[in-house]
């Protein structure tokens, strides 16, 4: 009875244990979002996510109380841990458009690198809110606990520990309480900023903790890496030539003529078929089906394999989870030899964290969709626009170029009506729905095939040696459960060859300088071996890693999923050195990079998104019309006058037109000077470019 009365005496203090985590949760989410309006919008639109974020803080709080037996100390410790993380994430989000992920801390552990982000983020308003929060909490503690601190019995602490363990397990593993299923929570793997925006910083961070579970290969050490390096013979360049090296990824590109139960009115990819008869070509076993292009890019560019990421590599996107530092790639290998390395992708620069990833790969420039002219086929940029960018970049630089380019014209979905006109008809015993999808798909890859031939035609006429790798990243997604593939009887019920039928995409290596006897036809390779193969054919020097991978590919050209290794006569011991080298590159001490002297030189100090900041050359004003002339201007450019956005039209070349009389535009104050600037924003309203201020002439 006495114990119960004692417990009831401290009931207000125990109520604080329930209430305080809510205030801390709100403060952390406020810091991550940077404004009260954004916090309020999230709370209204995603109330269940807010509850889960509260559960995260509450779980940590009761766990600390169970460990220390002190509620006040536990809360201040929690504040000291979570408030800086919220501020760091908010500053990173504002600076580069991505939150502070758990792996940023775990794998990089360089919080001080965010000092510049924080400097540009923390202002008097944010600091004032933090100070007010801390004063309020201190006052509550003083008001409630001024007479006597709570004394938690061991039984109560054990109960708190059990509650914390059950809640933590449920939040992390979704069992025994399936929060994600009950609340309909999901993640967006290709754009984790959406996940964080909708699910909240706190709960999303818990969801992402699973990606930190990267197993260290048995026997990995600096000594082991040194031993492997000693066994890799140095391979000098085969010649003095430094050819242009172009890699073009065909989005969802596959050869549908392999489906023998249907017929196309004409060959959708005649150019590839013709080139395959003469030049090195074959089939690449993609680690993906229907999406996650970035994982195929990752293999081709870095030589690292998705097969070594545990039991569920299909749930992992290394671009987002593991690219936190310079990772040697074809781009950095070429840059060390005097090449200009450029990535071209006609999609948003934030997608798959691309603008940061390409920097970490050692590219000098990344040209994303924000810097493309308006040239579309269907809803996406035309593949011919990518070809034009490739040619522009190789013509622009005085020396040899390395270009890595994506296409987007043939991106999912493939519903009829995607393109203004389909010129290929499909016939056969197939449903009308599948027929329409296949005709749309054939039209899309026809554009990619023409783009490929355009590159071949252009560089065939150039005296400058050039080598081109073209490949399809993955099979197209033709509805759930391989619906169209089954309808066309390409995939059979209980098909024993389902994986190989849906993962081998075509590749081609074309060149304008090698003798015909060096070409090989009908090869089968893993994407991580394509880069080493390309460097070998180009005759340029690779790295210790690409040299190792090239030799390995001569023995094991294809690495299938782990459960198929026996079928391909592959033993884990055959790939143990590969696993160690990959772990060293991504998660370990990077001893290989250090031994070869390029550990800290992969990232290029002059890395540039697009073409740099826009420059205003002149501003012309005539009554209510303003012309802003400059370079480089694109449709993503916006005109600001005195810091306010004005509606503008772009002429496609170098001029932005503003109609000051337009009712949608702000009113300019008369009799005072005005200043014009041009800003570039991405689709998420993230500023990625800005001109200097330019005076607006008087009317």
State pLDDT tens for residues 460-515.
Answer: 999 899 999 999 999 999 988 889 999 999 988 888 889 999 999 999 999 999 88
- Asked if pLDDT for residue 149 goes beyond 70, the answer is no
Mean pLDDT of the chain: 88
414-457 pLDDT, tens per residue? 999 899 889 999 999 899 999 999 999 999 999 999 999 999 99
186-215 pLDDT, tens per residue? 776 667 778 888 888 998 888 888 777 788
Residue with the bigger pLDDT between 36 and 11: it is 36
pLDDT tier, 94 (very low <50, low <70, confident <90, very high otherwise) = confident
Q: Name the superfamily (CATH) of residues 243-543+574-608.
A: Alkaline Phosphatase, subunit A (3.40.720.10)
> What burial class does residue 603 get, using C-beta atoms within 10 Å of its C-beta: 0-12 exposed, 13-18 middle, 19+ buried?
middle
The whole-number pLDDT of residue 212 equals: 75
Residue tagged 């609340």 (tokens): 183
In the chain, domain spans: 2-212, 243-543+574-608, 612-696
The whole-number pLDDT of residue 109 equals: 47
Paired with 98 in beta bridges are none
Sign of the alpha-carbon dihedral angle for 163, 168, 170, 175: negative
Residue tagged 């006495």 (tokens): 2
The whole-number pLDDT of residue 627 equals: 92
Structure tokens at 415: 């519903």
Contact by Cβ (8 Å): 317, 497 = no
Secondary structure E strands in 517-654: 523-525, 608-609, 615-622, 625-631, 637-641, 644-646, 648-650
Cα separation, 363 vs 608, in Å, equals 9
pLDDT tier, 409 (very low <50, low <70, confident <90, very high otherwise) = very high
Q: Which of 194-198, 390-394, 561-565 has the lowest mean pLDDT?
A: 194-198
Contact by Cβ (8 Å): 404, 344 = yes
- Asked if pLDDT for residue 574 goes beyond 70, the answer is yes
Cα separation, 249 vs 272, in Å, equals 14
The whole-number pLDDT of residue 302 equals: 97
Q: Hey, what CATH class is 612-696 in?
A: mainly beta
Domains 243-543+574-608 and 612-696 share a fold: no
Cα torsion for 682, 688, 691, 697, to the nearest 10°? 30
């Amino acid at each position: 009875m006495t114990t119960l009365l004692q417990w009831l005496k401290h009931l207000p203090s125990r109520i604080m244990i329930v209430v305080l985590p809510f205030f801390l949760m709100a403060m952390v989410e406020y810091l991550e979002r940077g404004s009260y309006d954004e916090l309020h919008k999230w709370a209204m639109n995603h109330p269940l996510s807010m509850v889960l974020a509260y559960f995260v803080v509450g779980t940590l709080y009761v766990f600390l109380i169970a460990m220390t037996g002190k509620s006040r100390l536990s809360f201040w410790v929690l504040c000291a841990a979570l408030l800086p993380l919220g501020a760091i994430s908010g500053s990173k989000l504002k600076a580069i458009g991505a939150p502070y992920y758990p792996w940023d801390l775990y794998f990089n552990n360089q919080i001080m690198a965010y000092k510049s982000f924080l400097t540009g983020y923390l202002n008097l308003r944010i600091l004032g809110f933090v100070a007010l929060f801390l004063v309020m909490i201190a006052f509550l503690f003083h008001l409630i606990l001024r007479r006597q601190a709570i004394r938690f019995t061991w039984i109560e602490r054990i109960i708190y520990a059990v509650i914390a363990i059950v809640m933590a397990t449920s939040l992390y593993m979704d069992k025994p309480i399936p929060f994600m299923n009950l609340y309909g929570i999901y993640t967006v793997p290709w754009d984790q900023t959406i996940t964080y925006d909708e699910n909240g910083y706190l709960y999303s961070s818990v969801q992402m903790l699973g990606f930190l579970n990267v197993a260290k290969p048995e026997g990995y050490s600096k000594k082991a890496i040194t031993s492997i390096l000693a066994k890799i013979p140095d391979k000098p360049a085969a010649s003095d030539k430094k050819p242009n090296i172009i890699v073009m990824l065909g989005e969802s590109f596959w050869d549908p003529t392999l489906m023998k139960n249907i017929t196309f009115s004409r060959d959708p990819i005649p150019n590839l078929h013709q080139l395959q008869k003469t030049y090195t070509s074959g089939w690449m076993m993609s680690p993906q089906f229907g999406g996650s292009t970035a994982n195929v890019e990752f293999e081709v560019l870095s030589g690292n394999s998705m097969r070594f990421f545990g039991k569920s590599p299909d749930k992992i996107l290394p671009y987002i989870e593991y690219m936190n530092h310079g990772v040697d790639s074809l781009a950095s290998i070429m840059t060390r030899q005097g090449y200009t390395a450029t990535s071209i992708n006609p999609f948003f620069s934030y997608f798959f964290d691309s603008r940061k990833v390409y920097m970490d790969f050692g590219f000098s420039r990344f040209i994303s969709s924000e810097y493309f002219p308006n040239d579309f086929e269907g809803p996406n940029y035309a593949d011919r626009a990518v070809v034009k960018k490739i040619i522009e970049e190789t013509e622009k630089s005085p020396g040899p170029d390395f270009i890595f380019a994506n296409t987007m014209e043939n991106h999912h979905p493939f519903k009829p009506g995607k393109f203004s006109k389909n010129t290929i008809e499909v016939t056969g015993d197939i449903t009308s729905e599948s027929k329409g999808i296949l005709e749309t798909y054939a039209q899309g890859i026809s554009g990619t095939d023409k783009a490929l031939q355009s590159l071949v035609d252009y560089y065939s006429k150039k005296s400058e040696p050039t080598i081109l790798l073209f490949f399809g990243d993955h099979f197209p997604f033709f509805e759930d459960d391989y619906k169209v593939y089954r309808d066309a009887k390409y995939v059979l019920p209980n098909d024993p060859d389902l994986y190989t039928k849906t993962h081998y995409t075509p590749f081609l290596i074309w060149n304008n300088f090698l003798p015909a006897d060096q070409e090989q036809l009908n090869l089968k390779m893993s994407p991580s071996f394509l880069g080493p193969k390309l460097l070998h054919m180009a005759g340029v020097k690779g790295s210790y890693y690409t040299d190792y991978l090239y030799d390995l590919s001569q023995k094991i050209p294809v690495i299938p999923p782990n459960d198929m290794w026996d079928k391909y006569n592959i033993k884990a011991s055959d790939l143990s050195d590969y696993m160690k080298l990959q772990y060293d590159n991504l998660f370990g001490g990077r001893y290989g990079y250090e031994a070869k002297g390029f550990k800290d030189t992969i990232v290029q100090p002059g890395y540039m998104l697009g073409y740099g900041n826009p420059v205003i050359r002149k501003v012309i004003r005539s009554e209510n019309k303003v012309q802003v002339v400059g370079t480089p201007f694109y449709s993503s450019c916006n005109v600001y006058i005195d810091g306010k956005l004005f509606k503008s039209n772009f002429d496609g070349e170098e001029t932005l037109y503003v109609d000051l009389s337009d009712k949608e535009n702000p009113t300019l104050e008369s009799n005072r000077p005005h200043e014009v600037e041009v800003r570039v924003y991405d689709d998420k309203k993230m500023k990625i470019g800005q001109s200097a201020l330019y005076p607006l002439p008087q009317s």
